[in-house]
Structure formats: structure tokens, C-alpha cells
């Protein structure tokens, strides 16, 4: 058991490698990651490196998940399209859902288009629901494996558990 039920649920769903860049909406999740073995958690410096490392881990047979703020989707786009989507690499992703009108302005332009961006690249997504972390993780892993592509669980304020 780690500090994060969402992390525990991903581990229970078979995830053995996590790479990501922190977001204040995901503090609990990242607190859990610090308890993982050194070979299972990559504290990435930017989100594109996180998803690329996940592809490497998957090539080697380890189910890998990426975690980031939705602003990081912008940095990831080239890698998600010319690596994951092109090579059919499954990638469960936990992405914070920033950018509502009460959020800081630097989060709003990309944040308010997160769902459109994912739809544009046919990346399946769902909203995280507090209390059913196991079901959320099962959906996320199954969706990415079934379609062999990234799938996104959007974690809104208060859904980090």
C-alpha cells in the first residue's frame, strides 16, 4: 500500500513502471511514487521524455504509465503521434484536468481544449471518479491495451486520492 490509492490501483492493474512530471493536482499520486523501487519510477524533466521512456519499458515487457499536467500534453504530442500511435504502443496516462475558469490563466488555453485535443487524435479518455480508483485503473489499462494506443484518465481537482 502506498500513499496513493490511484497508484495502488494502477499497480494492481499490472503497471510496473511509472514516469511523469508533477502537478499540484496529483500531489498524492506523486507522494506514492516516491515509495516505488528506483527502477519503477522515472521522475522525468519533461513530459515527452516520460512517455518515450514508457514506450521503452513497454518494448521490454513492462506495462508503463505516464502521469502529468494537461499542459504537458503539448510537449508530448510529437512523441504520442510518431511513437505511440504509429507503433501501436499502449500507454495508460493520468493527466490533471486544469484550466476551468477559476484556474490560473496560464492553464486555461490548453486546459479548456484538453478533451478536443484527445478527441482529435482519437485518444480515449474518461474522468477520474473519487472512490472507485480500481475501476478507473481497470478501464484505463484495458482501453490502452485493447486499442494499443494512449488512453487518458483526466484527474480533476479533488480526484487525486
Partner 1 sequence: MTRAEAVALVLPLLADDDIVVAADGAISREAYRAHDRSRTFYMLGSMGQVASIALGLAMTRMERVVALDGDGNLLMGFGGLALVGGLRPANLYHLVLDNGCYATTGGQPALSQDVDLAAVAAGAGYRWARRCLSGEHARGAMEAWLAAPGPALLDLAVDASDADPAPRVPMTPEEMAARVRAALAVDPE
**Cβ 46 to partner 1 shortest distance, Å:** 5
Q: Does 19 bind partner 1 (CB under 8 A)?
A: yes
Taking residue 25's Cβ as centre, other Cβ atoms within 10 Å add up to 22
Compare residues 57 and 155 and give the one whose CB is closer to partner 1. 57
x/- letters, 120..159, toward partner 1 (CB under 8 A): ----------------------------------------
Selection from 19, 89, 97 nearest residue 59 by Cα: 89
Compare residues 24 and 39 and give the one whose CB is closer to partner 1. 39
SS3 assignment, position 110: helix
Outline where 65-149 has alpha helix (H). Answer: 72-79, 86-87, 108-111, 114-120, 133-147
Grid cell, residue 20, equals: 511523469
Tell me how far CA of residue 128 lies from CA of 35, 60, 89, 141, in angstroms. 22, 29, 22, 13
Number of residues that bind partner 1 (CB under 8 A): 34
Site residues for partner 1, 59-88, by CB under 8 A, read 59-62, 64, 78-79, 81-83, 86-88
Interaction site with partner 1 (CB under 8 A): 16-17, 19, 38-40, 42, 44-46, 48-50, 52-62, 64, 78-79, 81-83, 86-89
Amino acid at each position: 500500500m502506498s500513499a496513493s490509492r490511484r497508484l495502488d490501483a494502477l499497480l494492481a492493474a499490472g503497471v510496473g513502471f511509472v514516469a511523469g512530471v508533477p502537478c499540484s493536482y496529483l500531489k498524492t499520486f506523486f507522494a506514492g511514487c516516491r515509495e516505488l523501487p528506483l527502477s519503477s519510477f522515472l521522475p522525468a524533466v519533461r513530459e515527452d521524455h516520460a512517455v518515450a521512456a514508457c514506450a521503452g519499458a513497454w518494448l521490454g515487457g513492462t506495462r508503463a504509465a505516464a502521469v502529468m499536467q494537461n499542459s504537458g500534453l503539448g510537449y508530448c504530442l510529437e512523441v504520442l503521434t510518431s511513437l505511440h500511435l504509429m507503433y501501436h504502443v499502449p500507454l495508460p496516462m493520468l493527466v490533471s484536468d486544469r484550466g476551468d475558469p477559476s484556474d490560473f490563466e496560464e492553464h486555461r488555453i490548453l486546459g479548456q481544449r484538453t478533451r478536443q485535443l484527445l478527441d482529435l487524435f482519437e485518444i480515449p479518455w474518461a474522468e477520474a471518479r473519487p472512490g472507485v480508483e480500481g475501476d478507473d485503473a481497470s478501464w484505463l489499462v484495458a482501453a490502452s491495451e485493447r486499442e494499443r494506443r494512449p488512453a487518458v484518465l483526466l484527474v480533476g481537482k479533488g480526484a487525486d486520492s
